[in-house]
Every structure is written in C-alpha cells, then in structure tokens.
Amino acid sequence: MANPSLLILPGDGIGPEVMAEVKKIIDWYGDKRGLRFDVSEDLVGGAAYDAHGTPLADATMAKAQEVDAVLLGAVGGPKYDKLDFSVKPERGLLRLRKEMDLFSNLRPAQCFDALADFSSLKKEVVAGLDIMIVRELTSGVYFGEPRGIFTEGNERVGINTQRYTESEIARVARSAFELARRRGNKVCSMEKANVMESGILWREVVQKVHDEEYPDVELSHMYADAGAMQLCRWPKQFDVIVTDNLFGDLLSDAAAMLTGSLGMLPSASLGAPMANGRPKALYEPVHGSAPDIAGQGKANPIACILSFAMALRYSFDQGAEADRLEKAVEKVLADGVRTADLMGPEGGKPVSTAEMGNAVVAALDASL
C-alpha cells in the first residue's frame, strides 16, 4: 500500500523555520513508528511570487488537489504590501481554500495547564479550556459578489457582499454537529440575525439541520457580538462554536489570545471526502508570517507542530499518534521549555525555534 501523501508549503517569514521543526516530527514518525509519508514541497505566497510572478503556481494548485493533505506555514510580509491585490501573497492561500473547496475551518483554542498564567484573563477562567471554533471558509463576505472599489459621484465606495446559500450553511453546520458528537455534544451557532438577513437564514438552516439530523446534540444560538463578550467572560461555557467566515475570523483570533499566545494554535481546513473517504484538507498555524522575527530563530513552532497533529487525526486516521504528539508538546511546556513568546515576567533564557522542536522530539522518544 502506498504511503499517504503530504504537500508541504512553508511560505514566507517564519514559515520555513517552523516547518523545519515539523519535518523533524515527520521523520521521527517514519523512523520510530513506521508511519511514513510521501512528502513533497513547493512554494506559496511571496516565495511563489518571487519565483513565478504569482502567489500560487497552477502546477502547485494541481499538486494540492492530488495529495492526501497540505501543510502550510505562513504567507505575506511588508515586502509585498505594494503589490496589486490580485497577486498579494494571501491570494495564494485563498485560492487553495477556494479551489480545494475547504469549507470547514477547525480552530481549536486549548489552554495547556502550564500556560494558564500567560492568558490576559484570570487563571480560573482559562485553565482547562478546550473549545473548537468551526468557521465557514469558502463563502460569505470574503467571496461574495459584487465586490470592489467604485466611484459614485464625487467619491469612492468600497463594496463587499455577504452572501450564503442554504447548502453552504448546512454543510458547515453538519461538520460542527459531527465534531460535537465526538466532543462535548454541544454546539453554539453565532450570527447577527438581529440585523442581517444572511444571519436570519443562517439561524434557520442550522436549526433545521439540527432538528432533522442531529437532535441528540445540544444546540444554542447567540449573536456574534454577544459571543465575543461571552468568550472573554466565561469561555468554558462553550464546546463547539459554528459561525460564518467573517465572524469566525474575528472570534477565533479572540479565542486564540485566551490561551496566551497565537504561536500555540493550529487549524485544519476540511472539504468534501475524496475517493479514499478522507476529506480534502489543509493544515496551518493560526499565526502569521511574523516578518519582524523571521530568520532569527525566535519563532514558536508549536502551532505548526500541532497542525501536523491535526493532520494525523483528521487526514491519516492516526488519532492515537495525534494524542502522542499533543501530549509530547504538553510535557515540554510542563517542563518549562519556552520560546520567547511564552516567557513570563520572571524572565529567563528562551529556547530557539530549533531547540523547541528538538525538545518535542525528545518528549516523543520518552513516550515510547
């Protein structure tokens, strides 16, 4: 049987640095667990623009469609700020999401016990936090038409259109309900049904999918702005949150800081099942390319490592090995190993990106 295939797209800024540590983990699984992958590597974002004049070459897009999973680092940087919007690095990532039809974006917010003091909230509010935000990823205001900047009379007008079909809402709702059945069996759907027609439709469709297909799952509805407030007040009231593209973008970044650092949070973007029954999938850390620290060995690779753990779980049916990797990360943090972003007021000497990766590999060794 052929090895599962994995396309690595390191991207820009700290992307190549954090991805180098994931490669160590991939090699460890091949050497120590007999779990081998056919790994290929290519360019995305600014790196692709520099090489090909486009943030994602057609050949790379075709490769992404063929593999079992894509693992991406980060895209963007100030060097590309003046490029035309159509070729900015971020367009490469958006093309991957759109053409692979990765409609369900899973963003966990988990607070490891060792980092509970690093959140801006009180320790008792965040300790033990484990929630999942399911964000619709391929429709809504980021993709709706008409869009653009137009001239009306004597001034310019910027237009973006919030647009959702019933089927687009229903499929991401199913993704959230299925996930909830494997977790706390509770879903909170967030929208703005009080002021937006798309929000009214969202609430109606989610409720219909629940009533007809998932009556065993507890469902609640909440306005997205109230949801943001509740995430800061008492986040542990939630298990799975499902929401649209724009609100999901905002709420997941707010949830990210509950855990103490953006450098800790992975994500999975899942699509429809392929012929092998597994979903098309792209895995990436939530953080950006952090050009201010790129090339300095200061980046935290944990979010990218945990993104690979999500790939083990959702694309490669290796839930036990995903648990092993997540527990290795937890052990490293409990042992006090910290990159610069995780240093507390007591100070100390942070480890480098490579040293953090090596520490996770050592914890994996200890798990055998």
Residue carrying structure tokens 């990766």: 357
H helices present in 234-271, as ranges = 245-258
DSSP bridge pairs for 279: 273
Contact 38/2 with Cβ under 8 angstroms? Answer: yes
154 is known to lie in a ligand binding site: no
81 is known to lie in a ligand binding site: yes
- In this predicted structure, what is the pLDDT of residue 325? 98
CA torsion sign for 100, 106, 107, 110 is negative
| Residues known to be catalytic | 142, 192, 225, 249, 253
State the DSSP string of 292-308: TTTTTT----HHHHHHH
Whole-number Å distance between alpha carbons of 244 and 238: 17
pLDDT digits (tens, 9 = 90+) for 273-283: 877 778 899 99
CA atoms within 13 A on the CB side of 323: 4
289 is known to lie in a ligand binding site: yes
Whole-number Å distance between alpha carbons of 63 and 42: 9
Token couple for 54: 């486009």
290 is known to lie in a ligand binding site: yes
Nearest to 241 by CA among 184, 195, 200, 286: 184
Least confident span in 27-31, 110-114, 269-273: 110-114
Nearest to 131 by CA among 219, 287, 259, 320: 259
> Which residues are CB-neighbours of 326 under 8 A, at least 6 positions away?
306, 309
Least confident span in 177-191, 198-212, 267-281: 267-281
- In this predicted structure, what is the pLDDT of residue 32? 97
- In this predicted structure, what is the pLDDT of residue 126? 87
253 is known to lie in a ligand binding site: yes
298 is known to lie in a ligand binding site: yes
- In this predicted structure, what is the pLDDT of residue 167? 97
Per-residue burial over 308-344, b = 16 or more CB atoms within 10 Å of its CB, e = otherwise = bbbbbbbbbebeebbebbbebbbbbbeeebbbbbbee
pLDDT digits (tens, 9 = 90+) for 281-337: 999 998 899 999 999 999 999 999 999 999 999 999 999 999 999 999 999 999 999
Q: Regarding the domain with residue range 130-258, which homologous superfamily does it belong to in the CATH classification? A: Isopropylmalate Dehydrogenase (3.40.718.10)
296 is known to lie in a ligand binding site: yes
What is each CA distance from 81 to 78, 85, 134, in whole angstroms? 5, 9, 30
Q: Boundaries of CATH 3.40.718.10 in the chain?
A: 1-110+265-368, 130-258
DSSP bridge pairs for 218: 186
pLDDT band at 112 (very low <50, low <70, confident <90, very high): confident
pLDDT band at 113 (very low <50, low <70, confident <90, very high): confident
pLDDT digits (tens, 9 = 90+) for 330-347: 999 999 999 998 886 666
Pick the CATH number of 1-110+265-368 from 2.40.30.10, 2.70.50.60, 3.40.718.10, 3.40.50.1240: 3.40.718.10
